[in-house]
Structure 1
Amino acid sequence: MLTLVFLGEILHEAGLRGIVKILQDGERKLSAEVIVVNGNGISAGEGISLPDAKELFENGIDIIILGDKALSKPSSRRALQAGFPLLRPINFPANAPGQSAYKLKCSHGELWFLSVCIGSEKFPLGDPANAFDSWMEQETPECPVVLNVHGTDLPLKEALMLRYSDYKVPVHVLGTGIRVPTDDLRLLGGNVFVSDIGSVVAEGTIQGLAPQAWWKRYIERLSVVQVSAISRVKADGIKIVFDDTLRVVSADRLKIFSDVIGA
């Protein structure tokens, strides 16, 4: 058996501190051979720094996947160029730094990991469906594919799953970007689908920010620094169990809480 845990989007420093504590508790809270996380919102909600990426890898994360904030800051671009299994979406411009797909060797074979990002009027990107089609045609994968679809277009996420439901190898579509866990987790023809895994976020906050800080940042458009004490962090995730041939045996939601921490 192979167990994969895919955690939701880490939000802000408190989310990072919480997931590191959960990872350090390891066997008690998060026992899995492969652990993947979406790190799109760590660095003040925008991308990831190289020190933060290193800390996650040192504490047991195997792959970090980014979304629309992958290139928002120079620190994220530097992290992408450091040679770690840190992935940006495949439908970013071809000259974007870093890698967009990664084949992970596991105890029972290999798994492909990659992501696409759903763009918007403010953040236009290449068509995610066409980008994934092109990758599949070029790569013709011989092992299961885990696709992280980052964004808010739920029908597109489901359409990508259905399009490849009869492909020669399983294509598992796991969504992020809404930051709230959806109740549509299902297994269809050996393929796992959920439109949004959720997030790794401090309780009592709005997407990682204290309520007053969120109001100042998004309503009053003021620069804020998160200084509130944090009680504990909630981590949403999906746990997938594979048999020795990498066929899915089960897929279940996870909700894990860190112990009390400070921020």
Structure 2
Amino acid sequence: MRILFIGDVVGQLGLSLIQHYVPELKRQLKPQVTIVNGENIADGKGITEKLYKALLQAGTDVVTLGNHAFRKRDIMDFIDGAKKMVRPANFPAGVPGQGYTIVNVNQTKLAVLNLQGRVFLDAIDDPFTKADEVLAEIKQITPLVFVDFHGEVTSEKLALAYYLDGQVAAVIGTHTHVQTNDARILPKGTAFLTDVGMTGSYEGILGVKKEPVIHNFLTKLPARFEPIETGAGQLGACYIDIKDDTGVATKIKTIRIDKDFPLEV
């Protein structure tokens, strides 16, 4: 099985890039499952039902989220019915939505699990023990598990990957919006990448306008961060090949598309 994973989609420009590039990426790579992190798609923070459906229509099979999952009130009206969307499984008990979903691929099943780190983010439930708990359920269904670990700190992401090495096919990091250069397969067969990168503006700072960010660093005064919706874009992604019988990863390769690294057709 081949999985295509695309990192944090920021704003309308990010959605436009998904709509533009996903068909060609699918044509070239032929993934069986396409997963997209959509937690920043609605004005830079959160997601709406309309945008969730737009991602599905663009060829996404599963939408993952993160710490901005509930920034838009609209999500409360549709999250429990959004069977192809997952929010971090280690949100406290009682939070709406699901932490993982199962995708049927021919005669096999892939579980997509979303977890969130706690270092420099909200002090939600422990992702390590929650992973143990959820994997006990998932393993009754399938040995094939993909993990989007939405975290701020590289050490926490790598620690979880080593903790789950051999138990899941991949642990791929999101949230920091900058693609890292450490894609690898760990000793027991789990593919790892600290951060897959983002999909949105190539000219801003992490997808938003530069000036408010710089002003905030200079003054420490509050500033409204707005996504850039025009101009040059970028898409950060990776693909992972896994064995259908064991869920062990055999390959991971990063994808970077921007004006300096254009997609070759």
Distance 2:122 2:100 in 1: 22
Equivalence for 1:232: 232
Q: In 2 relative to 1, CA 132–16 (structure 1 residues): closer, same or farther, beyond 3 Å?
A: same
The answer on 1:180 being equivalent to 2:181 is no
Equivalence for 1:124: 123
Letter in 1 for 2:68: K
Q: In 2 relative to 1, CA 140–30 (structure 1 residues): closer, same or farther, beyond 3 Å?
A: closer
Equivalence for 2:85: 86
CA contact (8 A) 1:4 1:33 kept: yes
The answer on 1:104 being equivalent to 2:132 is no
Deviation of 1:68 after TM superposition, in Å, equals 0.4
Equivalence for 1:145: 145
Distance 1:69 1:160 in 2: 21
Bigger Cα displacement from structure 2, 245-254 vs 126-135: 245-254
Equivalence for 2:250: 249
Deviation of 1:77 after TM superposition, in Å, equals 2.8
Instruction: Say how many residue pairs are matched.
Output: 255
Equivalence for 1:221: 222
RMSD: 2.5
Distance 1:108 1:120 in 2: 39
Q: In 2 relative to 1, CA 35–118 (structure 1 residues): closer, same or farther, beyond 3 Å?
A: same
Distance 2:42 2:240 in 1: 28
Equivalence for 2:55: 56
Deviation of 1:26 after TM superposition, in Å, equals 5.3
| Gap regions ≥5 residues in structure 1 | none
Deviation of 1:33 after TM superposition, in Å, equals 2.2
Deviation of 1:257 after TM superposition, in Å, equals 4.3
Equivalence for 1:164: 164
Deviation of 1:210 after TM superposition, in Å, equals 2.4
CA contact (8 A) 1:48 1:79 kept: no
Q: What SS is found at the alignment partner of 2:43?
A: coil
Q: In 2 relative to 1, CA 151–166 (structure 1 residues): closer, same or farther, beyond 3 Å?
A: closer
Q: In 2 relative to 1, CA 24–78 (structure 1 residues): closer, same or farther, beyond 3 Å?
A: farther
Q: What SS is found at the alignment partner of 1:9?
A: coil
Equivalence for 2:64: 65
Q: In 2 relative to 1, CA 198–79 (structure 1 residues): closer, same or farther, beyond 3 Å?
A: farther
Q: What SS is found at the alignment partner of 2:9?
A: strand
**TM-score when scaled to structure 2?**
0.85
Deviation of 1:88 after TM superposition, in Å, equals 0.6
Q: What SS is found at the alignment partner of 2:143?
A: coil
Deviation of 1:104 after TM superposition, in Å, equals 0.9
Bigger Cα displacement from structure 2, 114-123 vs 42-51: 114-123
CA contact (8 A) 2:166 2:248 kept: no
Which structure has the highest strand share of the two? Answer: 1
Letter in 2 for 1:230: T
CA contact (8 A) 1:217 1:224 kept: no
Letter in 2 for 1:134: E
Alignment of 1:13-28 (within 5 A): 13-25=12-24, 27-28=26-27
Q: What SS is found at the alignment partner of 2:253?
A: strand
Q: In 2 relative to 1, CA 15–4 (structure 1 residues): closer, same or farther, beyond 3 Å?
A: same
Q: What SS is found at the alignment partner of 2:67?
A: coil
CA contact (8 A) 1:18 1:232 kept: no
**TM-score when scaled to structure 1?**
0.86
CA contact (8 A) 1:88 1:99 kept: yes
The answer on 1:195 being equivalent to 2:190 is no
CA contact (8 A) 2:119 2:156 kept: no
Deviation of 1:244 after TM superposition, in Å, equals 5.1
